[in-house]
Chains A and B, each alone.
Chain A
C-alpha cells in the first residue's frame, strides 16, 4: 500500500486551474521528485496536501485514509512534515527555540522537547547555530532550519519544497547528503526541485508536470529522456 496517494487532484484559483487531474503515489521509504517549469503547480500540490487550501476536486490518501478537508496542524500530527519554498523562519526566536516549538508536536515536557531539538539540530548540522536568532541565519541555514523544524515533528513523509535552491555547490552536496540520511531514518520524501543534480542523484522516481498536468513519470533516466519533459524545459528556456 502506498504511503501517500494523490488521486485526480485538481485545484483552481478563480478560473485559473493551477493543478489539473494529477495522480501519483509515494511508497514507504521512497524519494519521489516532483519537477516542472516555474508556475507548473508544484507548490500548489504541496499546499493541497497539507490543506492550506481546499481541493477543487480529487482526493489525497495518507496511510490508507483520506486527509481531504482536515486542518493543517492535524495533517502534521498525522505524520506529514513540510518545508516552505519561501522559507518561514520564526525570526525572533532562536534556532533552538524554533525546533523546540515543533518538537512539542509529539513531546509534552520541555526538557524532552529541547533534547529532541538538539538531536535534530545536530542531525541537520545546525547545532553550532542553536543560540542565534533565526533571522540572523543565511539562506543555507534557513533552508536547513526548515528541514529541522519539520523533522522534529517526527514525520513519516517529508515534503521538501526547493530545499536546494540558492545553495552554493558545497552546501548542495551537504543537502543531498542530508536528504539521503533522512531517508535512512525511515522517512519517505516527496520533493520539489529544480536543480537537476539533486533530482537525478537521489530520486527513486520522478513525476513531471507542466501547466498543472502530468507530462511524465518514471525513473530518473526515463524522465530525463522523455520528449515532453525536454520540450517543457527547453521550450521554457527558448521562450
Chain B
C-alpha cells in the first residue's frame, strides 16, 4: 500500500514536471503525441480489449473529431478549441451510425465492417470538398507558441480517459462488457441487452477518440484526410498500441502508446541519424516483427504479461550473477 502511494506520487510528479525539466521541444512533442495515443489506445481497448469488438476503423472517430475542430475556425469563425467537446460529441453521433450498421455482425465480420467503414469515411472526407477542403486539408493558426499548454491539456485528457475507463470497468457496465466479450449468447441469456451495451462501449470509445482527434487539430494546426483518416497511421496504430501494451488491462495501452510512438520515431529519424536513410522505410516491417514477437511471446501484451517478463529478467540476472 505504502509503496504504491510512493510509486503514484513519483509518477504524478514526473508527469507534471516533465516539460518544465525537459525543455527540448522535440522531446516535449514526442511525449505530447504519446499521451494522445494513450487516449486513443485506451479507448480502442475499451471496445476491443474489454468488450471484444475489435475495431479496425478507429480513424473514423479520430478523423471526425479532428475535422469537427477544424470546421469551427474555417466555417464558423470560432476557436478550434470548441472542437474539443464538440469533436467528442460528433464522434459519438457517428459511432451511433457505425454501431447500427456494424453490430449486426460478429467477430471478424465486425472487424471487417469497421475496416471498410474507415475507408469509406476517408473517401467521403477527400471528396466532400465544400466541407473539408478535400486533399488540400485544413490549416489553422496555433493558439500557443509554447508546447506547455498542449502538454497539460493532453495530459488531463489522458488521465481523464484512463480514470473514466477504470471506473466503468469496475461498474455494472464493465461486467457487462467483459461478459459480452466472453460469450455473447450467454450474456444475452443472463439478461444483458448485448446490442445496447456494445453500443455504449463504442460510444464511450468514440467520445475519447474524437477528443483526441480534436486535440490533434489544435496542436498540429494542419490536417488532411490521408493523415487523420489513415488506416495505417491511425486505425492500425491504435490496434498496435493496444496489443503491444496489453489488451484488457487499464495501463496496457498507456505503456503501448509510449513504446509505439518511440519506435515509430526511432525509425522515422533513421535511428536518430545513426543508420542509413533506408531504415526509415523499414518501420512497417519493424512494426510487423514486433507484433509477431508480442503475439508469440507476450500474448497479453507487456502489461498483461508483466509477471512473465519479470520472471525472465530475474532468471537471466541470477544466472549471470
Residues of A within 8 A of B (CB): 50, 52, 71-73, 76-77, 81-82, 84, 88-93, 97-98, 100-102, 104-105, 108, 110, 113, 149-150, 152-153
Q: Are A93 and B179 in contact (CB under 8 A)?
A: yes
Q: Are A108 and B191 in contact (CB under 8 A)?
A: no
Residue B186 interfacial (CB < 8 Å) = yes
Q: Are B183 and A88 in contact (CB under 8 A)?
A: yes
Of all chain B residues, the one with the shortest Cβ separation from A91 is B182
Q: Are A71 and B193 in contact (CB under 8 A)?
A: yes
Residue B189 interfacial (CB < 8 Å) = yes
DSSP class of B's interface residues: helix, strand, loop or mixed? helix
Most B CB contacts (10 A, CB to CB) among A76, A90, A105, A110 go to A90
Which B58-103 residues have a C-beta within 8 angstroms of A?
none
Q: Are A92 and B182 in contact (CB under 8 A)?
A: yes
CB neighbours (8 Å) of A98 from chain B are: 179
CB neighbours (8 Å) of A101 from chain B are: 175-176, 178-179, 187, 190, 192
CB neighbours (8 Å) of A50 from chain B are: 189
Q: Pick the residue among B172, B176, B188 that contacts A72 (CB under 8 A).
A: B188
Residue B104 interfacial (CB < 8 Å) = no
Q: Are A110 and B185 in contact (CB under 8 A)?
A: no
Q: Are B193 and A100 in contact (CB under 8 A)?
A: no
Q: A73-B191, A73-B192, A76-B191 are in contact. Are A110 and B171 (CB under 8 A)?
A: yes
CB neighbours (8 Å) of A93 from chain B are: 178-179, 182
Q: A52-B185, A88-B185, A90-B186 are in contact. Are A97 and B175 (CB under 8 A)?
A: yes
Residue B53 interfacial (CB < 8 Å) = no
Distance between Cα atoms of A6 and B173 in the complex (Å): 34
Distance between Cα atoms of A173 and B30 in the complex (Å): 65
Q: Given A71-B193, A73-B188, A81-B189, list of 15 further CB < 8 A pairs?
A: A73-B191, A73-B193, A76-B191, A88-B185, A90-B186, A92-B178, A93-B178, A97-B175, A100-B175, A101-B179, A104-B172, A104-B191, A110-B172, A113-B172, A152-B190
- 7 A-B pairs whose Cβ atoms sit less than 8 Å apart in the complex: A72-B188, A77-B191, A84-B189, A92-B182, A102-B191, A110-B170, A149-B186
Most B CB contacts (10 A, CB to CB) among A52, A84, A100, A104 go to A104
Q: Are B189 and A72 in contact (CB under 8 A)?
A: yes
Residue B34 interfacial (CB < 8 Å) = no
CB neighbours (8 Å) of B190 from chain A are: 73, 76, 101-102, 105, 149-150, 152-153
Distance between Cα atoms of A105 and B194 in the complex (Å): 13
Q: Are B189 and A90 in contact (CB under 8 A)?
A: no
Interface size class of B (residues with CB under 8 A): 10 to 19
CB neighbours (8 Å) of B193 from chain A are: 71, 73
Q: A104-B175, A113-B172 are in contact. Are A90 and B191 (CB under 8 A)?
A: no
Q: Are A84 and B186 in contact (CB under 8 A)?
A: yes
CB neighbours (8 Å) of A77 from chain B are: 191
CB neighbours (8 Å) of B187 from chain A are: 90, 101
Q: Are A90 and B182 in contact (CB under 8 A)?
A: yes
CB neighbours (8 Å) of B183 from chain A are: 88-91
CB neighbours (8 Å) of A71 from chain B are: 188, 193
Q: Are B179 and A90 in contact (CB under 8 A)?
A: yes
1/0 contact trace for B151-192 toward A, CB 8 Å?
Answer: 000000000000000000011100110110011011111111
Q: Which 10 A-B pairs have the closest CB atoms?
A: A105-B191, A76-B191, A90-B182, A88-B186, A102-B190, A101-B175, A72-B188, A101-B179, A88-B183, A104-B172
Distance between Cα atoms of A153 and B179 in the complex (Å): 14
Distance between Cα atoms of A97 and B176 in the complex (Å): 10
Of all chain A residues, the one with the shortest Cβ separation from B175 is A101
Of all chain A residues, the one with the shortest Cβ separation from B179 is A101
Distance of B78 from chain A, by nearest CB (Å): 40
Distance between Cα atoms of A98 and B192 in the complex (Å): 13
Distance between Cα atoms of A80 and B171 in the complex (Å): 25
CB neighbours (8 Å) of B191 from chain A are: 73, 76-77, 102, 104-105, 153
CB neighbours (8 Å) of A152 from chain B are: 190
Of all chain B residues, the one with the shortest Cβ separation from A149 is B190
Distance between Cα atoms of A55 and B183 in the complex (Å): 23
Distance of B47 from chain A, by nearest CB (Å): 17
CB neighbours (8 Å) of B170 from chain A are: 110
Distance between Cα atoms of A100 and B174 in the complex (Å): 11
Q: Are A82 and B172 in contact (CB under 8 A)?
A: no
Distance between Cα atoms of A109 and B46 in the complex (Å): 21
Q: Are B178 and A108 in contact (CB under 8 A)?
A: no
CB neighbours (8 Å) of B189 from chain A are: 50, 72-73, 76, 81-82, 84, 150
Distance of A62 from chain B, by nearest CB (Å): 14
Of all chain B residues, the one with the shortest Cβ separation from A146 is B186
Distance of B174 from chain A, by nearest CB (Å): 9
CB neighbours (8 Å) of A104 from chain B are: 172, 175-176, 191-192
Of all chain B residues, the one with the shortest Cβ separation from A83 is B189
CB neighbours (8 Å) of B172 from chain A are: 104, 108, 110, 113
CB neighbours (8 Å) of A113 from chain B are: 172, 175
CB neighbours (8 Å) of A97 from chain B are: 175, 178
1/0 contact trace for B255-272 toward A, CB 8 Å?
Answer: 000000000000000000
Distance of A221 from chain B, by nearest CB (Å): 34
